[in-house]
């Protein structure tokens, strides 16, 4: 799964093409509820809870892509 597709599914709409270094907080419509939804969705994909280090590292589109690259 691509990070862009995952972000769009969380937001429920399409977003402009995102650069890997785009910060999540800069995405239009992004808020803390979206972040929680993202974490839950990633954990479902991975079949495990994210570690504290992984959670702290979720800041950019590239960070998401790194976690979900196998899906």
| CA–CA dist 26, 10 (Å, integer) | 15
Per the document, the length of the chain is 71
Mean pLDDT of the chain: 92
Spell out the alpha helix ranges (H) of the chain: 3-11, 32-46, 52-56, 61-68
Rounded to two decimals, the pTM is 0.88
C-beta separation of 18 from 7 below 8 A: yes
66 or 13: whose pLDDT is higher? 66
- Render pLDDT for 16-53 as a digit per residue (tens, 0 to 9): 788 999 999 999 889 999 999 999 999 999 999 999 99
């Amino acid at each position: 799964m691509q990070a862009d597709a995952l972000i769009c599914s969380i937001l429920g709409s399409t977003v402009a093409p995102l650069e890997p270094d785009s910060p999540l907080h800069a995405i239009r419509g992004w808020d803390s509820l979206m972040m929680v939804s993202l974490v839950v969705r990633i954990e479902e994909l991975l079949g495990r809870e994210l570690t504290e280090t992984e959670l702290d590292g979720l800041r950019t589109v590239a960070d998401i892509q790194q976690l979900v690259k196998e899906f």
